[in-house]
Amino acid sequence: MEFKIFDSYEEASKYSADLVANVLKDKKDAVLGLATGSSPEGMYKELIALYNKGEIDFSEVKSVNLDEYVGLDGSHHQSYRYFMDVNLFNHVNIDKKNTHVPNGIAADLQEGAKAYDALIESMGSVDVQVLGIGPNGHIGFNEPGEELLVHTHVADLKEETIEANARFFESKEEVPTKAVTMGVGAIMKSKKIVLIASGKNKAWAVQQMASDVITTKIPATLLKLHPNVTVVLDQEAASLL
């Protein structure tokens, strides 16, 4: 696990984008594992800028997203499909048919989760998985607990996660309490992981990743077992290191 610390979120975003861009330059039909939220937003802006300069091409790229809220369809402005369209897909030459987000409105969520795992398996290895991290150390929506699940599943969101995401909704009551999320198995199978964290509210979780502890109660600590992880931080997120 390699830690890269930058003076600003903007610099961290540019570095993260370069890591992903290098994968695309090496492999035109790369499979990208993508994340939503405020942490990777700046990276997506930088990737769009690189695309506009003609430095990267998304025409053969496939993508799989980590998670989606249960109960929100892709047209909802807080759905993760909508986020990806607005923040990346609408601005580059990726084929939307090759972009995949878990189905949060499937008639059978469990069957939908199984189908998502099968889809990921059919693509082979994810070449680079982008992650954020929750203040409680969650990755995707794999929340702290006595055990973690390997496969894609329906997760109950912790109270602190709901509170952290409430800023994106008009009220806390509107925040979904469940999500469909990739399990830790798919994340750990990816060839490379780029985890982005910014802000003081992520400093504790980052500190735990840098410690010698691995525990399901801080899911991000499992990333220590992965052979190729780059943790990209701004000064605030790195303040406890």
DSSP-based three-state secondary structure for 150? coil
Q: What is the DSSP letter of 49?
A: H
Name the residues annotated as catalytic: 67, 136, 138, 143
On whether the CB atoms of residues 232 and 15 are closer than 8 A, the answer is yes
On whether the CB atoms of residues 180 and 113 are closer than 8 A, the answer is yes
Q: Which two tokens stand for residue 2?
A: 């390699």
The count of other CB atoms within 10 Å of the CB of residue 166 is 14
Amino acid at residue number 111: E
On whether the CB atoms of residues 2 and 231 are closer than 8 A, the answer is yes
On whether the CB atoms of residues 84 and 65 are closer than 8 A, the answer is yes
Question: What is the four-CA torsion angle of 110, 111, 116, 122, rounded to 10 degrees?
Answer: 140
Rounded CA-CA distance 87/168 in Å is 15
Question: Closest Cα to residue 182, out of 217, 206, 155, 161?
Answer: 155
Rounded CA-CA distance 77/85 in Å is 10
Which string of DSSP letters, residue by residue, matches 154-196? EEEPPHHHHHHHGGGSSSGGGS-SEEEE--HHHHHHSS-EEEE
